[in-house]
């Protein structure tokens, strides 16, 4: 899986980039090598909003795009929440594909041979 990390209005250092890559390793093991993951980090400058750090994650798979967006007081927490949400979505997507494949195989085995 290819990971692209972008910062809007903030600097994304090597340490933060490595932590993001480590956090999304679990998702990377479940998807294809051709999948691309885009992580966008930003800080909103409204003093009335306590959770001002935002992480948006987009995972492009073959035929489907999964997204997660989370807010928190710091970037690392927002990234962690996004990683959990995306892992849940990937698992659900894989289970759905597996059920469809098994249903097709079962239906094909029930058809009489002509």
pLDDT of residue 110: 86
| Residue 9 confidence (pLDDT) above 80 | yes
Tokens of 5: 């990390």
Could you confirm whether domain 2-89 is CATH 3.30.160.100? yes
pTM for the whole structure: 0.85
Q: How confident is the model at residue 114 (pLDDT cuts 50, 70, 90)?
A: low
Check: CB of residue 44 under 8 Å from CB of residue 73.
no
What are the pLDDT digits (tens) for 43-100? 998 888 888 899 999 999 999 999 999 999 999 999 999 999 999 999 999 999 999 9
Query: d(Cα 28, Cα 30) in Å, to the nearest integer?
Result: 5
Domain boundary assignment for the chain: 2-89
Query: d(Cα 68, Cα 95) in Å, to the nearest integer?
Result: 19
What is the CA 77 to chain-centroid distance, rounded?
A: 15
């Amino acid at each position: 899986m290819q990971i692209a990390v972008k910062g809007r209005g903030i600097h994304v250092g090597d340490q933060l980039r490595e932590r993001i890559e480590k956090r999304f390793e679990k998702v990377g093991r479940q998807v294809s090598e051709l999948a691309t993951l885009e992580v966008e980090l930003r800080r909103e400058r409204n003093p009335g909003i306590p959770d001002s750090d935002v992480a948006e994650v987009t995972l492009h798979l073959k035929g489907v795009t999964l997204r997660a967006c989370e807010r928190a007081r710091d970037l690392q927490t927002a990234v962690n929440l996004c990683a959990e949400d995306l892992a849940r979505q990937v698992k659900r997507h894989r289970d759905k594909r597996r059920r469809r494949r098994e249903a097709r195989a079962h239906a094909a085995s029930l058809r009489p041979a002509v």
